[in-house]
Amino acid sequence: MNESLLRELVPAVIGVLVRRGADFASAEDAVQEALIRALETWPDDPPRDPKAWLVAAAWRKFLDATRAETSRRGRELTVDAEPAAGPASTVDDTLQLYFLCAHPSLTPASAVALTLRAVGGLTTRQIAQAYLVPEATMAQRISRAKRTVSGVRLDQAGDVATVVRVLYLVFNEGYSGDLDLAAEAIRLTRQLATVIDHPEVAGLLALMLLHHARRAARTAPDGSLVPLAEQDRSRWDTKAIAEGVEILQAALARDRLGEFQAQAAIAALHADALTAEETDWVQIVEWYDELVRLTDSPVVRLNRAVAVGEADGARAGLAALAELDDSLPRYTAVAAYLHERDGDLAMAARLYAEAAAKATNLAERDHLTRQAARLNAREP
């Protein structure tokens, strides 16, 4: 059974239940129960119309839950009878569900969790395992998020920028355990691109594909990080790169530049270089200038300093870095790299060690420690 196809039906089925009168939280719970039932029965008895089957099963679950609650309260509650069997509605509420799950009233963490559950069709246990938190903790987070958006109608306008930001957060979580969040983010962004024609959605999808294409080369057999310049480019996924570039070019042609298109353009320039030495750093700096104009983000300015150091020399990169707050994450690591490029190995080694002590990611900490040790071994 194609579980990915099954999950793709989730937002549409939730939308059907909501339009029939179910509140969002109850509809989402009912669809999750229907999904569990589908996983149990479909391998031996696949339905002719999967969406209609899920709608019928979820609606029955909702009615059962409503009647049980009515009985518990000791009063009557009128609910619609189960609709006659037949093809499911062709109305697609997927886009509205994306907007709902990325509602501005939610924290980023809650928006990500709710998106994975209600749009992605993942179970609470799967999401908890991916984020390495107890299932009860994730259940509480999702429950609070559902209560927060319970009064929001699916026909209300949403913000595309918020939706793509949430999907970007999902992608950046990468993967852990059995659930690959990067691949899931790509799937959800593809799905979003089918229901909304927006250049930033396309830009985000291109960015994800271009970054994901390098995944196999990012770590050595012992699990250590491999910097971009040292990666074996023959291991990059050329098919994903070609698709990402094609999507990006179509988005840029619409002349509505956004930050994800600009980020994707930088990733495409890296992907286009057959060797690290052939990287067009001058163009990359120009795209970072566009990103600074669009976002004025300190993190973007930090990455720009690295690019300036490659394009115009380490001294120019250090001058760009000096304009930034040294408390920025990765500031010390960037300073170490640029000082090494400038030939000050003692300073670079000290800064690499300092950056390693600040690192929150174990793989990054190990990489920076190795860099410090490498330079210290070269000192007389």
Q: Give residue 75's pLDDT.
A: 37
User: Mean pLDDT of successive 10-residue segments in the chain (380 residues)?
Assistant: 76 87 88 89 88 92 80 45 45 77 88 90 86 90 90 74 90 68 90 92 97 93 91 96 98 96 98 96 98 95 98 97 95 97 96 94 92 85
Q: Give residue 95's pLDDT.
A: 83
Spatial separation of the C-alpha atoms in residues 323 and 80, rounded to whole Å: 64
Domain assignment present for residue 298? The answer is: no
- Within this chain, do residues 105 and 69 fall inside the same structural domain, yes or no? no
The domain of 206 spans 197-270
Give the E-state strand segments of the chain in sequence order.
Answer: 175-176, 179-180
pTM of the model: 0.82
Domain ends where: 135, 156, 185?
185
Domain assignment present for residue 57? The answer is: yes
Spatial separation of the C-alpha atoms in residues 291 and 186, rounded to whole Å: 22
Q: Give residue 378's pLDDT.
A: 79
Spatial separation of the C-alpha atoms in residues 268 and 259, rounded to whole Å: 14
Q: Quick one: angle between helices 50-73 and 24-41, nearest 10?
A: 130
Q: Which residues are paired to 225 by β-bridges?
A: 219
- Within this chain, do residues 175 and 209 fall inside the same structural domain, yes or no? no
Per the structure, how many domains does the chain have?
A: 3
Q: Are 14 and 28 in contact (CB under 8 A)?
A: yes
Return the structure tokens found at 248.
């990006």
DSSP, collapsed to helix, strand or coil, labels residue 175 as strand
